[in-house]
Structure 1
């Protein structure tokens, strides 16, 4: 009987010690996401843009009041146009476990300008003389409409983005010229001047990525890089030639422009 009681007590004690040890063992919990990225958000950003304007196929025509006409050509140079960018963005995210899908639209100011060096323009023989002219290119705003796919870990979200881009590109040109007024001795007189501009909204693509960090209470900060590319657009710049000597006419300049931009920016968002 005593042996039975001792055996029973030993079994109960061993079970109690095992249960206590199990209670003290560390419990592995599955990783949890801090907050959620799901919801509508709005925000602003500021950054810097590196612009590239590839220029080609520059030609021109002159038609004067005397019934003469001709074709001329001139050198055009590709240039960089860098400047500050700032704007607003809005979007919506859907979080599925640690995967975050979203859409975003933004509108941005961009101070990007580039000018070609002044170059000589040969005037056709029927006129006799020369022009010196210059061309400038300017981008004052751009906008993007993009999708986003990211991975959330803790308060951070790393993402890739891509979609549609729009940019307003304005090309301006000016020229002043001289004309042969006498052959013996050779004498050049003022031919006149012209100026013209043409602008259009180009459609292209935007790709990039970024890192966003949740601060709490709906606020987050982000750093983002975008590359935007656009196809080649032909610009026709037509201006009226006004001469002190009474010679009038029309000058039309054609140039093809292919712009691209690299944008780095910092922003802040508020999620509702």
Structure 2
């Protein structure tokens, strides 16, 4: 997917065209591990609150190939490796849900951010054919911001222990690298441009500990009277601060390369 030409008309007598071998779009899948904290308020069956998390993930998409000249007299055989990597991300979200027995079904959405890296390594020759000319490496890396949305369910195993299942979509936007010419005297050889859509889906399972709210008047009265009977259960069992961890899998991070066309050597 790259049209490359050899040095010049004077050097080779005619432009040489190279055909790609390999390349193509790529995506990836990975494990993930998450630390989460949040707070719920409850009004009847309605539960609402906010949640924040930070996740470690290994989404690395790679594509590679070599450009083989059509002319058997050529000695320049460029190759290219492009990779897109997401190694961590975080979110700050709102949550809104409804309770049904020991279950809480909810939707969630908010801001996402994460570290996205896109690297292109363009080697001007293989097997020492262009000795003295190192690879051309271009890279962009940094924290990108986007959005996230998902759905999930909590199950109250105990008053302070919550089992969580969740599906989430995360979109950190698109990053790109332009096509890069080789150094002199091989400027006619140009790398592919590359872009990565830093989006992915994730499914997780986890446990959270919910801190008990302050004792209500029912519990205080029972303590004052010395009664053995347990106080009535709270009317808002989901309300309060919680901390937890989750694990699961993620997939996405779509990578593609675009080949420039029409390049000819200078004369």
Q: Following the alignment from structure 1 to structure 2, what is the Cα–Cα distance between the partners of residues 78 and 222?
A: 34
| Cross-structure match for 2:161 | 219
| Cross-structure match for 1:259 | 198
| Cross-structure match for 2:244 | none
SS of match in other structure, 2:24: coil
Unaligned stretches of 5+ in structure 1?
A: 1-57, 61-71, 180-187
TM-score, length-normalised on structure 1?
Answer: 0.59
Q: Following the alignment from structure 1 to structure 2, what is the Cα–Cα distance between the partners of residues 59 and 103?
A: 52
Question: For 2:53, which of 90, 106, 119 is the aligned residue?
Answer: 106
Question: For 2:90, which of 123, 143, 162 is the aligned residue?
Answer: 143
Q: Deviations over 1:14-73 (max 9, x none)?
A: xxxxxxxxxxxxxxxxxxxxxxxxxxxxxxxxxxxxxxxxxxxx999xxxxxxxxxxx99
SS of match in other structure, 2:151: strand
Q: Following the alignment from structure 2 to structure 1, what is the Cα–Cα distance between the partners of residues 158 and 31?
A: 29
Q: Does 1:95 align with 2:42?
A: yes
Q: CA deviation at 1:107?
A: 0.3
Aligned in 2, Cα 1:267/1:234: closer, same or farther, shift over 3 Å? same
Q: Following the alignment from structure 2 to structure 1, what is the Cα–Cα distance between the partners of residues 177 and 53?
A: 27
Q: CA deviation at 1:196?
A: 4.2
Structure possessing the higher relative contact order (Cα contacts under 8 Å, 6 or more residues apart):
2
Computing the radius of gyration over CA atoms, which structure comes out larger, 1 or 2? 1
**Is the Cα–Cα contact under 8 Å of residues 82 and 194 in structure 2 kept in the other structure?**
no
Q: Following the alignment from structure 1 to structure 2, what is the Cα–Cα distance between the partners of residues 59 and 162?
A: 44
Q: Deviations over 1:201-255 (max 9, x none)?
A: 22111111111011224111110000112322223698996x9xxx799x88742
TM-score, length-normalised on structure 2?
Answer: 0.60
Q: Deviations over 1:57-111 (max 9, x none)?
A: x999xxxxxxxxxxx9989632111000001011110101100001001000001
| Correspondence 1:68-79 to 2 at 5 A | 77-79=24-26
Aligned in 2, Cα 1:271/1:102: closer, same or farther, shift over 3 Å? same
Aligned in 2, Cα 1:271/1:255: closer, same or farther, shift over 3 Å? same
Question: For 2:107, which of 152, 160, 165 is the aligned residue?
Answer: 160
| Correspondence 1:105-254 to 2 at 5 A | 105-120=52-67, 129-178=76-125, 189-190=130-131, 192-194=133-135, 195-235=137-177, 254=193
| Cross-structure match for 2:29 | 82
**Is the Cα–Cα contact under 8 Å of residues 198 and 237 in structure 1 kept in the other structure?**
no
Aligned in 2, Cα 1:83/1:252: closer, same or farther, shift over 3 Å? same
Aligned in 2, Cα 1:76/1:202: closer, same or farther, shift over 3 Å? farther
SS of match in other structure, 1:192: coil
Q: Following the alignment from structure 1 to structure 2, what is the Cα–Cα distance between the partners of residues 112 and 120?
A: 27
Q: CA deviation at 1:167?
A: 2.2
